[in-house]
Structure 1
Amino acid sequence: MNAAVIEVLEKAGSQDPNVLKPAEQTLREWEIQRGFYTTLYNIFSNHSLPVNVRWMAVVYFKNGVNKYWRKNAPNGIAEDEKEFLRRSLITTFDEPVNQVASYIAEIIGKIARLDFPREWDTLIPTLLEVIRGQNSIAQHRALLTLHNVVKTLASKRLLGDRKMFEQLTANMFNFILNSWNTYTESFLILASNGADENQIREPLEMALLLLRILRQLLINGFLREDISKSEDIMLFLKVIFERAKAGLECRKTLMLRGIQIDSLDKFIIHLTKVLSGSLEYHPYSYVELIPATLEFTVFYCFTTAGMSFTYEKFVIQCLNLIKSILTNVNYRRTTGDGYMRPKHMEVTRAIQLRKEFFTPETLKEICSKIVTHYFLLTQSDFEMWDADPEGYAVDIGESPKYNLRACTQMVFVSMFPEFGEAITPVLIDLMQTYYRPVDPNDWGAILMKDAVYLAVGLAAFDLWDDVDFDQWFSTTLKQELEMKDSHYRIIKRRVCWLIGKWTRVKLDPKLRPELYEMMIGALSSEEDLVVRLEASCTLRHALNDFQFVSEEFMPFLERIFTLLFNLLREVTECDTKMQVLHVLSFVIEQVGENIRPYVAPLSAYLPSLWQISENHNMLKCAIISTLVQYVKALRAESAIVEPMIVSMVGLSCDLSQDAHVYLLEDGLELWLAVLENATVLTTGMRDLFRNMPALLDSGLDLVTLGSALNVIQAYVLLSPQEFIGEWGIPIVKGIKSIFMDLRVSDLAPVVTLLEIILKVASERGAQLIKTLLGRIFEIVYLDEDDASRLMNASLVVMARVLICSPDVFAQVVSELTRKIGNEQTEETVLGRLIDIWLRYMFHSVLEKERMKCLAIALCSLLNSNSPPVVFAHFSRIISNIVNVLNDIMVPSFNEEECPYDSLLLANYPGDHQHITEDDEEDYKSEHQTRLEQLCYEDPVHTVCLKDFLQNQLITLRRSIRNDQFEQMISTLRPESDQQLREYIVF
């Protein structure tokens, strides 16, 4: 088989699709055959074969391990073959090709994750034995393999695996540490003696692999131990500073000789990673290393002597160490709940050591260096500004772990909570030095001003009491935005950014019109594109503020919206368009219907923008989000763009389209906005509903499920006849499958939808949702703890079913009785439902409408056809109904007239504002109007509870013996009897 597999592997490496695809198909067929992986091993371990064939063999071997090595994997590799492969893989470590050796090491690591130590207890001893040997290439390959094994074993998180790794660490840590010391010393000696690059590289790469292993062992192998009690570990951590210093000096010497070794850069970086990992995972053991760490990092990051040795990645690592020491949550006296931390002594010591190191002089030096060195724009910044202004302007939020500018800003901000008093005077001095506008030709002054403004913006919250921003805003900043020199674009862009930062911190509301006027100038087409984009972001901050007043903004609306729209058309990158579109969306959201006169150009542009976004799903999301605000602002007038919206929603909510993964949530929001503002159901909206059954069947998360149910609710209100007649059955079927999978605590939106269906369609609605009602009744019947929040809503659904369709109510009770079994009867089940109903009716504060609904349903039970169990609760039923009457009956203005039902529409001819829950809300959609229209047929607003109760009791008295009725009345508590007779006569 070897020859055949070699031939197919050669073809699998071909660039010709006609050769490649049949070969791949053949390999897919072979990968489940017995002996295939033994053949692959024989091929890649045969050094006489071509490298490309061996490479393909090891790649397919690795893929097979991923798919078929697990014991329960379908078509898994046979146990005897796995045993042969485990034994063979660690027989020799003489692979000459680095890439193949790396793959073999990864394969062994993956197998070790599954089989070590039970099926492969010889793995680690074999590797350590080879490392102790004299064959240099075998040592390197064994170390490479051990690194992969340790890394994969360290990633396991089960308790048994953690204990196993801790034991492994205890057995090998000292050996690895000693080996690392030996190779590190060897490399440093060779480098200092002028050895050539190849001589230096070999021990350096060994030292780097050993250091990587040590890092994994230290971080993950002592999680339950106090490493400060281990002399070896603490000595290792202390010697890291010396090794890093020696490494940096060696690096500088080698560079002077024209030698640059990437492994040396990685070695130095990894030394700092050992420190950061120890600080993160063993913070209390690290406390006594805080002074050494701070001295080391501050020397290399903030002194002229130290900075001559550094390079960017190393500086980032050092700055992150400083940030970690300043912000480590374990070095705070209390937890987030205000409790003292258990390691109180260590925390106190850490705080003390920080304060001792960060003297006012040190803080002044650090702060000055950050602002005057790290915050300065560089030549590469200006090159990017000119070559790609959009890319430069859009903040992509680079991580402080990898980006020097973001890292220095984070360190700067981190110093203020504890050392703000010492840093603030330094900033104030710098600010006063560069307070006035500078000469446009003084390049150094411009760069320094930009850096100082950056610092003042980052520290805005901490400088609240020290900076009179209002005066600064109205004088210097305003003047600087009016400067026309091209060099001043740097300052103008920073001024816009600075205003955006301080707007949310300290800006007199009276100055907001001036801010809008300044941003209009910064948005003009004559300005630099980066300045304009920054101005748009500042506007977003100003609009997204609790002090925003739309009336103040209206005089500027037309000009700002036009400028933003022009900017949107001018920029070309999708990320930039998203940023500007986000600001436009904010404008539309904040001004609402006042945007109507100005949106025509945007309406015309959106279709072409949608085409531009064909391969950029995040831009599609931004367009859809903007349209949500557009529809809410224009309401029914948004029908002019309905075809485009229908197309967008169709793409977003069609599960057969790949884009739905990104667009579904925003698409549902737009779908809902269109429905809620529609006056009639159009053909496009009707066609969209075809997507809903598939969505319900797809297993939506709670957020998108809630949105989907809101969309269904909007359809129910917009076209109840079509929903009940055509769409209802598949939708109820989809909801039923969800209903059974959701936790009780997550069922609230479903129950709300059921109540709306019952309000809209009454008896037909009850018949439609009958299959869902069993779950509602069961929730009430079981009365579980996690159902308490849902209980009142479930009771209201039960009440509405009882009011609109007693037959469906009886059928559901009968079905519930059969499901419960245990010799329960329908009467006993009904009795428990009523008992829970009465107990929960006033369990929490309910709207008066819901309480009255429950009371009407209870009244409907008071007839001679009800089973005896109802009358067993007669006194409690009457008591609860009377309590509701006490809440809803209000005295008449005419003292001679009786109190009246405050929820009865007949008492408010021509004025139904009292039934609207959102009277003070500015935005009122067609959907809300339709909800209000339901009141005209809702028993809560058409049935007088007092009269209904009186009629029920009179009819009941006539249908049973008088003494029976009097006996029931006598069971009432005196206060309930008295209050009842104040409302009715029977």
Structure 2
Amino acid sequence: MSAEVAALLRQSFDPSTSKQAEERLRQAETQSGFASVLLEIVASTSIDLPTRQAASLFFKNYVKRNWEDDEEGQKIALSDRQLVKDNIVSFMTRMPPTLQVQVGEAVTLIADTDFPAKWDYLIDSLISQISLTDMSVTNGVLQTAHSIFKRWRSQFRSDALFTEINFVLSRFCEPFLAIFKQTDLMIDQNRNNKQALDILLQTLLLLTKVFYDLNCQDIPEFFEDHMAEFMSVLHKYLTIDLPVITAGEDDDVAGPLQKVKASICEIVELYTQRYEEIFTMLPEFVNTTWVLLTQVSLEPKDDILVSKALSSLTSVVRVPRHAQLFESEEVLKKFVELIVLPNMSLRTSDEELFEDDPIEYIRRDLEGSDSDTRRRAATEFVRSLVEKFEQKITSIVLEYVKVYLTQYAADPVSNWKSKDTAMYLISSIAVKGSTTKFGVSSTNIMVDVVEFFNVNVLGDLHAGFSERHPITKVDAIKFIHTFRNQLTKQQITSVFPMLAQHLTSPNYVVYTYAAVTVEALLTMKRDGQTLFSTLDVAPFSAELLQNLLSLIERGSSPEKLAENDFLMRCAMRVVISAQEGIATATEVTVHHLNKILAEISKNPSNPKFNHYFFECYGAVIKYVGAISKEALAQLEAMLTSPLLMILQNDTTEFIPYAFQLLAEMLEMHDTKEDLPLAYKQLLQPILTPTLWDSRGNIPALVRLLQAFVVQGPSHLVSEKLLEPVLGIYQKLIASRANDGFGFDLVESLFACVPLQALEPYAQQIFVLPLTRLSGASKTEKLASRFALFLATCASTQQLGPDFAPSILERIQPGLFAQLMRSIVLPHTSQLASPSATTKRASCGFGRMLASCSMLKQDQALWLQTLTTCLKLLELPAGAVLSDAGSLLQQQQEEETMADAALMALDEGFQASFAKLVCSAPLGTANQAYLALAQLQGSTNVDPRRFLATCLNEQLEGRDTWLALVKQQAAETVPVLQSYGLNI
């Protein structure tokens, strides 16, 4: 098996065989011993390194997909799991560092699930591998330890967390200190031995990382007791110079010594922020860091070190009792002159990055990926000084700003870098509060941002492309982006055409910054309203889209075309903002989108770009398709073929998007009309079982299938497709991950398909979830979703309140009451969000209270159901939608969801399924949604009034029941009266 798997891994390198090889590897995953085979390949020195690297990556992803057993049951046998845990540590210690990283991530994933409860010997296994003479082996141990411990850095404090940390500390502290001391000794002994030092400095770097891990939540007693030993060594290596290592270093890449010093600075920052009261050596570290910052070079190799050193000083400034170290004007001037200015000025390497790798230049600045750059660190340092010494530091920096602006004015062509430094300095002192999403919220009162804009920025925007250096242009655009909240709508409106004009700039960075800023301006809100209305944006939309999409199409390959997600995000925002205002440009816009799709489908490479791209499609359909039947038909004519091509070519990354867009268009058809022929032809293929094997496809497939059910229930019956659809329901309901989608599907069937056609299957439909609820695979989610299912059945027009109870009694006498008491009512509180779910549940229980004969046979259960329903409805004001404003709130919720979705992407979140927020048409445009909600009896009602109406008008023997309420649940009477109940 090992040779076969290795051969498949090699075949995965070749584009012509990669897909088939990957499929066969995924099939091999299910075989016993597969994980161990992968590990053996990674550890084998007789196999070529590329194959071992591929095996390490596949192993990590295999663990990520299969180790957790709480979704689909246990995917990896216990014996295989045990074999992996028994051998992975010894394997990892023998691997080269390039392989240790991937396997280390796998160890982290396994530890997340199993350590310490199911892997209590892990730390002992690590300690047993430690060698105080062979540091290459010990490095493997430390790398593995760091892989496990680093997850503590981002976790919230809890008893369970500290139990785990203490478990590790009780075993690991003494061996850790021994390695620490031995490494220091061996470095001293090998100061002129480069080969030895390369390994030892890697050991020291891993030691500092593990040191941080072990101290990140609280300072352990062991470390407090040995603080002098640890800190004296750390201080030594912050000052050390090892010429044999630094001689001949690459100026562009951080060497081992820079990495060690940067890691020590992180420890200093941690101790300053968390343990400064007992950190007695802090003043020594401050002085050393100050000297270090005045001595390091301006080469990129020192960037990370400078960033971390500045960050540690920033943390010291923010500690009130240490701020006095910096408060004299003389000290502040030295900081600005010797540390801030050199690290805020543009360097040759920055210019080279601007020219040679513009997208990286942009990402470092805009996405926060420059958190390790000098400029951002220097900016944060200045802002920390402004927090403590606002007047002094502002006056000092403004003097330098004047100097740089004067230099620029004297010779704009030669001294453009002076203007660039001035712009960064102004930003560093002017901004007091800001967020990535909303921009600057408060500014320094000593800096007139608007005046600076009028005098020093506006002219650069007006100037032609050849009249200003591209970086000067970028600085001007970025100033608007940064301080957009401080400008009036009139000012922003006046510069908007200039920003749009910059989309035609020949410079990559300039037009990208213009797109980023346009997108930010279009999202601005004031007093709860979008600053630019649809009417404001529509006149510009066609030209903006033409320019943005044409820029994207310049990409010379699928990868280059999808590289610039900033442009695609702006295009998406233009469509969302212009809404139906883009109707006249629909044909041109979709033509561009289709051309882009044809290219990126060849090799989907940028998930962010892809998501914004399909959101753009979704927004076009949403706003243009709602205008008229003809507009929808035009869109279908242009879009159906490209979307079906995605399915035909099995472009895995795009298939869920294609299903969502097809569902969106189908949902917009009038439900009273026959199912369109093009969709009829699609129905059979989407029932193919293999499509449903991919979890990423399921949410979109269920939505599309629901649209088919709502639009063409008679077609399902006449074509004998009901059983295949129910087969899918059976598959979904059996899955812990997908049971909610199963309920969504069957609720649509019960609402739309004639009951006569469903009757033969009704009992089995209920048996499937009941089987899980009575067994080991019962979950809280399943129980609460079953409660909603029962309520939905009660409010569905063609079923009524007696339908579900009668089916349950057929399965087993007394089952309805038993389930209500043990499953349904105890889990109803979990239906309190979102509001649409609350409404559906409460409407269903209202009908049951009024008209369910089986419920009314049990007075105690009836009262319990009433009080549970009232608890569900008694949420904070506005949490349950009534008729008034429901559509507006729906739109606001969708806008919030859109922002959340985009923020998730910004933060690097990726999932196998990404919901298209823009593909959910609002109001009457979504015919399928409205029809389904109407059939389920939960639309256009105030659920509180609905409950009162049910009890007032439909409850037989009303007086008797209400007397029971007064007698046994008197506390509910005022609540019911406030709903409109006559009692």
TM-score by length of 1: 0.66
Q: Aligned with 2:857: secondary structure?
A: helix
Structure 1's 76 and 246: CA in aligned 2 closer, same or farther, altered over 3 A? closer
Residue number in structure 1 paired with 2:344: 375
Give the direction of change, closer, same or farther, for the CA distance of 1:401–1:760 in structure 2 (3 Å limit). Answer: same
Q: Deviations over 1:248-277 (max 9, x none)?
A: 6x479x85xx89999995235324424534
Matches within 5 A, 1:478-497: 478-484=458-464, 485-497=466-478
For 1:228 and 1:852, how far apart are their aligned partners in 2? 60
Which amino acid counterpart does residue 551 of structure 2 have in structure 1?
L
State the match for 2:901 in structure 1.
none
User: Whole-Å Cα distance in 2 between the matches of residues 160 and 788 of structure 1?
Assistant: 32
User: Please, what TM-score do these two structures have when normalized by structure 2?
Assistant: 0.66
Q: CA RMSD in A?
A: 6.3
One of 621, 633, 636 as aligned partner of 1:642: 636
Q: In 2, are the aligned partners of 1:523 and 1:563 still within 8 Å (CA)?
A: yes
What pairs with 1:663-678 in structure 2 (closer than 5 Å)? 663=654, 666-678=657-669
Alignment of 1:508-587 (within 5 A): 508-524=488-504, 528-546=507-525, 547-570=531-554, 572=556, 573-587=560-574
Matched residue, 2:310: 322
Q: Decide whether the 8 Å contact of 2:474 with 2:513 is kept in 1.
A: yes
Structure-2 change in CA distance of 1:709 and 1:436 (3 Å) = farther
Q: 1:627 aligns with which of 597, 617, 629?
A: 617
Mapped contact 2:794–2:801 kept (Cα < 8 A): no
Report the alpha carbon displacement of residue 450 of structure 1 after superposing the two structures with TM. 1.3
Deviation at 1:478, TM superposition (A): 2.1
Q: Which residue of the partner structure matches residue 928 of structure 1?
A: 926
Pair 1:502-2:483 in alignment: yes
Paired AA for residue 550 in structure 1: T
Q: Following the alignment from structure 1 to structure 2, what is the Cα–Cα distance between the partners of residues 528 and 831?
A: 67
CA distance in 2, matches of 1:486, 1:534: 18
Tell whether the 8 Å contact from 1:584 to 1:626 is kept in structure 2 after alignment.
yes
Deviation at 1:736, TM superposition (A): 3.7
- Which residue matches 2:705? 712
Aligned with 2:280 (options 283, 288, 295)? 288
- Give 2:710's aligned amino acid: L
Q: Is the 8 A contact 2:271 2:279 kept in 1?
A: no
Map 1:685-696 to 2 at 5 A. Answer: 685-689=679-683, 690-691=685-686, 694=689
Within a 5 Å distance, the mapping from 1:127-526 to structure 2 comes to: 127-128=131-132, 131=133, 142-153=134-145, 155-156=147-148, 166=169, 171-172=174-175, 176=179, 179-186=182-189, 200-201=193-194, 204-205=197-198, 207-208=200-201, 211-212=204-205, 214-215=207-208, 218-219=211-212, 225-226=220-221, 229-230=224-225, 233-247=227-241, 250=243, 265-267=255-257, 269-277=259-267, 279-280=269-270, 283-284=274-275, 287-301=279-293, 303=294, 306-307=295-296, 312-324=300-312, 326=314, 350-357=319-326, 359-368=328-337, 372-387=341-356, 392-393=361-362, 397=367, 399-400=369-370, 403-409=373-379, 411-412=381-382, 422-433=392-403, 438-439=408-409, 441-443=411-413, 445-457=415-427, 459-460=430-431, 461=440, 462-463=442-443, 465-484=445-464, 485-503=466-484, 505-524=485-504
Count of residues in Structure 1 that have an aligned counterpart in Structure 2: 824
Letter in 1 for 2:623: A
Query: Could you say which structure has the greater relative contact order, defined with CA pairs below 8 angstroms and 6 or more residues apart?
Result: 2
Please say which structure displays the higher CA radius of gyration: 1
Matched residues in 1 for 2:645 and 2:692: separation?
18
1:60–1:502 distance in 2 versus 1, CA, 3 Å: closer
Deviations 1:470-502 (A, max 9, x none): 444445422222223444332112101111121
Cα offset, 1:508, TM superposition: 0.7
Shift of 1:541: 0.9
Structure-2 change in CA distance of 1:859 and 1:432 (3 Å): same
Per-residue deviation, 1:453:
1.6
What is the rounded CA distance, in whole Å, between the counterparts of 1:806 and 1:728 in structure 2? Answer: 24
Question: What 5-or-longer segments of structure 1 have no aligned partner?
Answer: 17-24, 45-51, 91-97, 132-141, 189-198, 333-349, 818-823, 888-912, 958-964
Q: Which amino acid aligns with 1:718?
A: Q
Q: Which amino acid aligns with 2:495?
A: L
Q: Deviations over 1:20-71 (max 9, x none)?
A: xxxxx9xx9xx999xx99x99xx98xxxxxxx9999999999999999xx99
Is the contact made by 2:129 and 2:141 (CA closer than 8 Å) also made in structure 1?
Answer: no
Q: 1:202–1:495: structure 2 CA closer, same or farther, 3 Å change rule? A: closer
CA distance in 1, matches of 2:55, 2:832: 64
1:604 aligns with 2:585: no
**Alignment correspondent of 1:344:** none
Compared with structure 1, are the counterparts of its residues 641 and 478 closer, same or farther at alpha carbon in structure 2 (3 Å cutoff)? same
**Structure-2 residue corresponding to 1:93:** none
Could you give the per-residue CA deviations for residues 306-364 of structure 1, whole angstroms, max 9, x where no partner exists?
A: 246x7543452243143246459xx99xxxxxxxxxxxxxxxxx541244346554444
| Structure 1 residue aligned with 2:114 | none
State the Cα deviation string for residues 624-666 of structure 1 (Å, max 9, x = none). 2221111112115254353664455456678x93x42x33554
- Please name the residue that 1:731 is paired with: 725
CA distance in 2, matches of 1:640, 1:858: 48
Bigger shift: residues 375-384 or 783-792: 783-792
Aligned residues of 1:795 and 1:837 also touching (Cα < 8 A): no
Deviation at 1:586, TM superposition (A): 0.6
CA contact (8 A) 2:732 2:741 kept: no
Question: Where does residue 797 of structure 1 map in the other structure?
Answer: 792
Counterpart Cα distance in 2 of 1:621 and 1:109: 27
Mapped partners of 1:686, 1:173: distance in 2: 67
Give the C-alpha shift of residue 791 in structure 1. Answer: 8.2
Q: Kindly state the Cα deviation for residue 584 of structure 1 after the two structures are TM-superposed.
A: 1.2
Deviation string for 1:49-94 (max 9, x for gaps)? xxx9999999999999999xx99449979x9xx9xx99x999xxxx
CA distance in 1, matches of 2:96, 2:863: 82
Q: How does 1:908-923 map to 2 (within 5 A)?
A: 917-918=886-887
Pairs within 5 Å for 1:784-933: 793-800=788-795, 804=799, 808-809=803-804, 811-815=806-810, 817=812, 825=814, 829=818, 854-861=845-852, 870=857, 917-918=886-887, 924=922, 927-932=925-930
Distance 1:289 1:99 in 2: 38
2:436 corresponds to: none
* Deviation at residue 201 of structure 1 after TM alignment: 2.9
Residues 133-172 of structure 1: CA distance to partner in whole angstroms, max 9, x if unpaired? xxxxxxxxx2322332344356456999977865665555
Change (3 A) 1:440 1:416: same
1:860/1:312 Cα in 2 relative to 1: closer, same or farther (>3 Å)? closer
What secondary structure, in the 3-state scheme, does the structure 2 residue paired with 1:599 have? helix
Checking the alignment, whether the CA contact within 8 Å between 1:717 and 1:760 is kept in structure 2 is yes
In the aligned structure 1, how far is the partner of 2:359 from the partner of 2:596? 17
Matches of 1:588 and 1:292, distance apart in 2: 57
Worse overlay, 276-285 or 542-551? 276-285
Q: Is the 8 A contact 1:827 1:869 kept in 2?
A: no
Taking a change above 3 Å as real, the CA distance of residues 416 and 752 of structure 1, as seen in their structure-2 partners, is: farther
